[in-house]
Amino acid sequence: MESKYDRVAYPENVYLHSDGEMEDFGTGVYPVSVISRKPFHDDSINFGCCKVRRKFSTLLIIIAVILLLLVITISIGIHAAVSHQQQLQSENGTPACSSGKNPNAKDFGLLVQPMLDNAGSAICFQPYKPETYLEYLNSLDYYTHVYSAIPQQGDDYVDCKNATAKEGQKCQFDIRKFGSLCTHGKNYGYDQGRPCVLLTLEMPKGIVPEAFGKEDAVAKANLQNGEWSADHVAITCDGATPEDKKHIGSTVYTGPNNTTQGPIYISPKEGFPLNFYKGGNSVVPGVMVGFNDLMITKNTFITIKCVAWAKNFNNGDPANSIAYTTTFKFQLS
């Protein structure tokens, strides 16, 4: 007859002893080969609807941490490389900013300096940081050296004030014509936030500019502030757009010896002398343009457009030509 002790409901977390193992439970009811309880450990973790073993989840966490550290390391490396490249560019003279095309990329016409390689048409500087404008000063020194007294010595240089140079001769151009504001000694105004640029007018061989008449409609419309001269190619400079013109300013600048200049300083104010383009002369005259009240803001370019005015430039419309205009930009670096 079956005893009530012959059937036992075993829980899931049991450990079955073999017949050779002895276990005393103190009751004397169960056979020697019965069971004893042992804790059951579920080696898994629930992730949503999935179960993942603990060892596998630990491995996933370790891999995630390694990947995160790798991403951080790569980011730091990229940032360091970019910073190092920018430093090298600065040390090698490569400008920190660039915009547009170099306005001097033409065979003849109105040219402007200083323009640095790879900077396009941009001139970027900060008045209180000499390292940001030193290259511009060096460039202006280089291009104005030809107008200093020492290079213009010798019998081949002649005074062309009231004459033209014969074949094999050159016209003397007095550097003092640039005035007292845009000079080497005054850092061409860059340390005062009054940057100067040098304009030159290169003409194709055999072509002599023709000045507008004082009563010509073009002269009346564009040369009303004393720029017109019967024996010069007049120069005007202004903001390229109405928005750019707002940043030119209107404050009159008072320079040394109480000399006053408007917001844009042009010297010589008449422009380029016509007799330098006649005869055998090979010296290209220059004009300095200074911006006395330029309201430069960081990350904003101010675009300047200068025009050389002559009747035979672009059929009397030089302002709409590429050759006889030059466009460049200022920005705080």
pLDDT along the chain (333 residues), means of 10: 51 49 46 47 53 64 85 77 50 60 93 92 92 95 92 87 84 91 93 95 91 91 85 94 89 70 88 90 93 82 95 94 95 79
Q: Report if residue 94 sits inside a domain.
A: no
Rounded to 5 degrees, what angle do the CA atoms 140, 123, 127 make? 85
Q: Domain span at residue 105?
A: 99-332
Distance (Å) of CA 163 to CA 146, 171, 224: 20, 9, 28
* Whole-angstrom distance, CA of residue 320 vs CA of residue 317: 6
* pLDDT score recorded for residue 35: 44
Q: Is the residue at 107 inside a domain?
A: yes
Residues 151 and 273 in one domain: yes
Task: Note whether residue 92 is domain-resident.
Answer: no
pTM comes to: 0.70
Domain membership of residue 21 (yes or no) is: no
The domain boundary residue, chosen from 64, 87, 110: 87
Answer yes or no: do 280 and 184 share one domain.
yes
Pair 82, 104 in one domain: no
Q: Which pLDDT score, from 0 to 100, does residue 72 have?
A: 87
- Looking at 54, 87, 120, which one is the last position of a domain? 87
Do 261 and 302 lie in one domain? The reply is yes
Residues 202 and 127 in one domain: yes
Domain count, the chain: 2
- Assess whether 67 and 202 both reside in one domain: no
Shared-domain flag, residues 71 and 171: no
Does 73 lie in the same domain as 107? no
Strand partners, 109: 202
Do 228 and 219 meet the contact criterion of CB atoms below 8 Å apart? yes
pLDDT at 54: 57
Same domain assignment for residues 66 and 111: no
